[in-house]
Chain A
Amino acid sequence: MARSSTTRRRIGRPVSSRAADGAVRKLITANGLVAILILAAIFLFLAFNSQRALQEVGILTMLTGREWYPTIGVPRFGFLPLMAGSMVVTLTALVMSVPVSIAAAVFVSEFATRRVKEISKSIIEFMAAVPSVVYGFVGLAVVVPWVKEVFQLSSGLSALSAAVVLAFMIAPTIVSIAEDALHAVPNELRQGSLALGNTRWQTTYKVVLPSASSGVLAGVMLGMGRAIGETMAVLMLTGNAAILPSSVFDSVRTITGTIAAEMGNVVQGGLHQSVLFNLGLVLFTITFIINLVADLVLEKQRKRWRR
């Protein structure tokens, strides 16, 4: 007697639910792959739109050209001044920001009481939430006049001004990632060192910092990626002179600033536009490599504490 199975059918079960389950799975999987799709599309669209520049100017000419005169009769499309500009601004910002940010991360993670820690973290989070155009504007109002006066320059719009502002902008990134890395070091390690008669500071620089070093490094790299890719603040503060800089007091023009400033005034489908896309491709490639390396470093760090 198949009694139990007959009586079981008492509640009408939506027949379609199994089929729906499979369909939903497919739909969701498709969405899961969207990141790969977009990343690939970005690369392809930049490459596709760079074609004309690659054919008519050539990648070597652009990468090694020392002059950027995109709108004169016979235009010069040399990326060197722009890459140098980006580099000067980024490196100067890193030099200023990294030591202070790492020190701050050490304090927050190792020395601060819980209350201090929470408060400073949320204040630093606020710093990360402020839009870059606001940083640019505040930089114009505060940092540019200050740089001009302190260093006796004819104009405060310079690599230095941009770097100072950038240093503050990337500090939250470095602090929070470095702090995470320090925080992830197991407490047993600290206790082991303290039990050997080391002070907290000795423990920090002998045990904690070395163990967290790759995470801290990843934080610095991500900060660097952010600095290279930063557009608005740099555009507003560097003065945008496309010449090879000889010091941080010079006005410079960055890769990002060039794209932002010139893309609006180019002929649709023209050579200049294509060159700007190519410049975007160069930028994308640089940040892609930085991010990839930072990611692999972070992965390594994570594996370390997963037994």
Chain B
Amino acid sequence: MALASEKKGAMVIGIHENSSNGGEFELRDVSVTYGSELAVAGVSMDIERCAVTALIGPSGCGKSTLLRCLNRMNDEVSNATVGGSIKLDGTDIYGKDMDPVELRTRVGQVFQKPNPFPMTIYDNVAYGPRTQGLRQRGALDDLVERSLKRAALWTEVKKDLKKHAFELSGGQQQRLCIARALATQPEVLLMDEPASSLDPISTQQIEDTIAELKSSVTIVIVTHNMQQAARISDWTAFMLRESMEEPAALVEVGETRSMFTNPGDKRTEAYITGRFG
């Protein structure tokens, strides 16, 4: 009932409040084929709401590929096909009724390399909301400010929101990209090695941001940095492609703490302790 009464003012209220309570994924037997090459197969796992899940594994084991399944960015890769079932809050995201464009407003993504648009800081953050038809100046201003605050960039840029985004440092640009993704108010944020091109201080800032965010957003992060995975994630999934002839698979998924202290699989242990990969 309370929700129904909210509807009328939703345009404004929703924007001011942190409306999302995360989303949860349910992956069953997910596979990805590029052309005729089966790259990933048989991945089944759940991704918990409002928690950080880390995807780890050696290069080429299909982490990015799996991540792109979750917001259907694989649709944009011309030769990629996805099999199995992926449900977001119980709805099949590859189902007939699901519009990939709409899905991506619910599942945001931050890329490995900072990729701000060639426009002002403000316009970068406002891009997503504008795409959804938000035009009111006041509401936009609020949303931009809030998103920049959540991405821990506000204090550094509040004076010059009209500055061109390319004038920011690499670390700032990446936090801008996080703010830009947050402005769409996604339930889930996918991050593909978001700190790999950054210095330790910027990396620290991004990790702090992630820790802040997880109370309201589900986060799936790909990382090559074991310490980082151990520091920031609640759950860890380890993927491995044993040879180029077979597809990559999920070796195990579990709570980060137990996985790092007491891995269930020999291969996980070897990877975590740096003996291969």
Contact = CB atoms under 8 A, between A and B. Distances in A.
Find out whether A and B make contact in their complex, taking CB atoms under 8 A apart as touching. Answer: yes
A90 to B, nearest CB: 44
A11 B133 contact: yes
Interface in B115-153: 129, 132-134
Interface string B79-111: 000000000010000000001011001100000
Interface centre among B23, B106, B133 (most CB of A within 10 A): B133
Interface residues of B, number: 25
Contacts of B106: 8
Chain A interface category by residue count: 10 to 19
Interface in B164-221: 185, 187
Interface string A284-301: 000000000000000000
A14 B89 contact: no
B179 to A, nearest CB: 17
Contact of B3 (A3, A12, A14): A3
Contacts of A5: 89
B15 interface: yes
B236 to A, nearest CB: 25
Interface stretch (B6-14, B222-230, B260-268): B6-14
Given A10-B10, A10-B15, A11-B11, A3 B21 contact: yes
A5 to B, nearest CB: 7
Given A4-B21, A7-B20, A18-B101, 6 more contacts: A4-B22, A7-B10, A8-B106, A8-B185, A9-B10, A11-B134
**Chain A contact residues: over half helix, strand or loop, or mixed?**
helix
B258 interface: no
14 contacts: A3-B3, A4-B89, A5-B89, A7-B3, A7-B10, A8-B19, A8-B106, A8-B185, A10-B10, A10-B14, A10-B15, A11-B132, A13-B102, A13-B132
B130 to A, nearest CB: 10
Contacts of A13: 102, 105, 132-133
Most buried by B among A5, A8, A10, A17: A10
A4 to B, nearest CB: 6
Nearest to A6: B3
Contacts of B6: 7
Contacts of B129: 11
A12 B133 CA distance: 6
Nearest to B15: A10
Q: Which 3 A-B pairs have the closest CB atoms?
A: A10-B14, A7-B19, A11-B132
A188 to B, nearest CB: 27
A10 B132 CA distance: 10
Contacts of A14: 133
Interface of A: 2-14, 17-18, 21
Interface in B4-39: 6-7, 10-11, 13-15, 19-23
A5 B7 CA distance: 12
A3 B14 CA distance: 12
Contacts of B105: 8, 13
A212 to B, nearest CB: 33
B187 A12 contact: no
Residue of B10, B13, B129, B134 most packed against chain A (CB within 10 A)? B10
A14 to B, nearest CB: 5
A29 to B, nearest CB: 16
A146 B113 CA distance: 64
Contacts of A6: 3, 7
Nearest to A11: B132
Contact of B15 (A4, A9, A11, A18): A11
Contacts of B22: 4
Nearest to A1: B3
A4 B101 CA distance: 17
A7 B23 contact: no
Contact of B13 (A2, A9, A10, A17): A10
Contacts of B99: 18
B207 to A, nearest CB: 26
Contacts of A3: 3, 21
Contacts of A11: 11, 14-15, 129, 132-134
A16 to B, nearest CB: 11
B105 to A, nearest CB: 8
Contacts of A17: 101
A136 to B, nearest CB: 45
Contacts of A10: 10-11, 13-15, 19, 185
A13 B99 CA distance: 13
Contacts of B21: 3-4
Nearest to B91: A5
